[in-house]
Amino acid sequence: MSRYIHVKVLRQQDPHSAERWETFSVEHEPGMNVTTVLQRIAAAPVTVEHESSTPVAFDACCLEEVCGACSMVINGRVRQACSALIDNLCADGRDTIELRPMTKFPVVRDLVVNRRRMFDALKRVKAWVQVDDYFDRGPGPRVFPKEQDEAYPLSRCMTCGCCVEACPQYHDDSPFIGAAAISQAILFNAHPTGRSAADERMEVLAGKGGIADCGNSQNCVKVCPKKIPLTDSLAKAGRDATVYKLRKWFGR
């Protein structure tokens, strides 16, 4: 006998329209995830009230939790839709899932939000290695496995926004740049070449919207789908900012 999953979606036609709930019913398939559910709705957008509707707009690309596109709030928790398996969501025997857009970014439509603020923050902290040019100048600096082991996890940040969605300090009225950008600043400050711009990054981390805005609630690290050790980065940013300010204070 076929089993059906009820999917409650918080929809919004465009940034100026009001929100509304719509519920769809989707036939269960073994191994199906939330992105599949949304694809099935797109193919037959009819609500449980038998009213024809429109496909639910959502952001997704890789479908394997590596591009960061598909973050949304699923059953009250922010996460990637592509790695949210229905069988896990409904493990306790329930047959309803609830989908909402993230709340910390402007809604474009339905589950699509605009995460520009995160990318702007990456620009502010100069999240890159400033090389002279792209000519052939031999290999990069020697790196020991231990250093690589520290850099690699931070380097997996996919700017998905889960961390800032969960962060109480990140909202419209705050200039806080958020855990992801801070962690990237730490990553590039640790890089042998990236380090040459360390002061410029510290200027941002020690300034308005920087590390001082973090309330240390540690929500971010709990929701990061890439398990990035954000609290380590935040702690390091805090220490480095103190040292940086002291150094500046003493004119050095």
Partner 1 sequence: MAKQNVVVVGGGLAGLAATMKLAEMGVHVDLISMVPVKRSHSVCAQGGINAVNDVTRQEGDNEWKHFDDSVYGGDFLAHQPPIKEMCDWGPRIIDLLDRIGVPFNRSPEGFRDQRRFGGTLYKRTAFAGATTGQQLIYALDEQARRWESEGMVSKYEYWEFLGPVLDDAGVCRGVIAQDMFSMEMRAFPADAVVLATGGNGLIFGRSTMSMICTGGAAGRAFRAGVKYANGEFMQVHPTAIPGTDKLRLMSESARGEGGRVWVPRKPQDERDPMSIPKEERYYFLEERYPKYGNLVPRDIATREIFEVCVKGGLSVEQNNLCVYLDVTELPPAQQKKLDGILEIYETFQGVDPRKTPMKIFPAVHYTMGGLWADYERDANHGGLNLGSPRNHQTNVPGIFAIGEADYQYHGANRLGANSLLSCIFSGLIVAPSIAAYMGGRKGSKDAPSTLFDGAVGVHKQQYEKLIRNDGTENPYKIHIELGDTMTRNVTVVRYNKAISETLGKIDDLMQRYQRVGLSDKSNWTNQNLSFTRALGDMLLMAKVIAQGALQRDECRGAHYKPDFEIPGPKAENPADLRREAETWCDGFQKNLDKWLKTTVATYDGKGGTGFDGKGGFKIEYEAVDTSMIPPRPRTYGLKGAEIIEEVWKERIAKAKRGPGAEKREAVGAG
Give how far Cα 203 sits from Cα of 14, 48, 208, Å: 37, 54, 9
Question: Which candidate, 83, 68, 85, 73, places its Cα nearest to that of 119?
Answer: 68
Nearer to partner 1, 61 or 243 (CB): 61
Tell the smallest beta-carbon distance from residue 164 to ligand SF4 (Å): 7
- Could you say whether residue 23 binds partner 1 (CB under 8 A)? no
List the x/- string, 121-160, binding to partner 1 by CB under 8 A: -xx--xxxxxx-xx-xxxxx-xxxx-xx--xx--xx-xx-
**CA–CA separation, 18 vs 23, rounded Å?**
17
Pairing of strands 96-100, 4-12: parallel
- Could you say whether residue 63 binds partner 1 (CB under 8 A)? yes
Tell the smallest beta-carbon distance from residue 215 to partner 1 (Å): 28
List the x/- string, 68-97, binding to partner 1 by CB under 8 A: xx------------xx-x-xx---------
Tell the smallest beta-carbon distance from residue 168 to ligand FES (Å): 24
In the chain, beta strands by DSSP E = 4-12, 19-27, 71-74, 77-80, 96-100, 107-109, 112-113
Nearer to partner 1, 58 or 244 (CB): 58
Within positions 47 to 66, which residues make up the interface with ligand FES, using CB under 6 A?
60-63, 65-66
Tell the smallest beta-carbon distance from residue 223 to ligand FES (Å): 14
